[in-house]
Amino acid sequence: MELAHTRHGDPDTRTPGKLVGHRRYDLVGALFFGGRRRRVFTQLAGASGARAGDRVLDVGCGTGYFTGVMAKAVAPGGTVQGIDPSGQAIAQAKSLTRLAKCTFSAGVAEALDAADGSYDVVVTSLTIHHLPETLRPQAVAEMFRVLRPGGSVLIADSRPPATQIGRRLMRRHSPAMADNPVDSIEPMVRAAGFEQLRSGDLRPWMHYVQARKPPRR
């Protein structure tokens, strides 16, 4: 396989993607949300269906921002595992996110290193668009696999700006996000076997799909 790069700054041979330094990624992320970052991710945590005591997996955690928000959402008693292909991002996440029962390790979305039914909730934010289109359904299928029956998934990604000027500005900082086909998320989630789908938008740019793995019958 051709040497691939992750979005956060170091090479990974498993998941192709664009190389972006993790410090620059955090800066762009803060600017991207225009001062609403904390509010948006708190709302996403609420939409995920996570409750106190839940076991959560954050796929493509980057430097751990959403992982930390989820850790607070499932306290007390809950645990959150953040995974990312980038060793640099994981090191930064460990340094920045010093919360009890919040851990980080290397891993790729399309081949999760977890047993079937290991988690109550799986979340991922601003990650799907970094994966090649051929790997996206496989990544969603892996999220389905590692969830317990009745568990919930939340996939959040950026909705492209509505205006041509907005898309032009977005392409300067993150070309993949400027033309991100977020409408393809819901069909992938449904095809993976999830039920009770619901979706929503959070200002300024986020779109999410939340769904549940069917309970055992």
The answer to whether the beta carbons of residues 178 and 160 sit under 8 Å apart is: yes
Tens of pLDDT along the chain (217 residues)?
222 333 434 444 444 443 344 555 555 555 566 667 889 999 999 999 999 999 999 999 999 999 999 999 999 999 999 999 999 999 999 999 888 899 999 999 999 999 999 999 999 999 998 899 999 999 999 999 999 999 999 999 988 666 565 556 565 555 555 556 788 999 999 999 999 999 999 987 889 999 999 998 6
Residue type, 62: G
Distance CA 111, CA 107 (A): 8
CA max distance for the chain: 51
The percent helix, strand, coil of the chain (3-state, each to 5) is 40, 25, 35
Chain-centroid distance of CA 155 in Å reads: 6
Q: Of 98, 110, 140, give the one whose Cα is nearest residue 14.
A: 110
Residue type, 210: Q
Domain boundaries, the chain: 4-212
- Per DSSP, 60 falls in state T
Q: What are phi and psi of 169, to 5 degrees?
A: -65, -40
CATH topology for 4-212 is Rossmann fold (3.40.50)
In this prediction the pTM is: 0.83
Task: Say how many C-beta atoms besides its own lie within 10 A of residue 37's C-beta.
Answer: 16
Distance CA 21, CA 194 (A): 34
Distance CA 205, CA 170 (A): 11
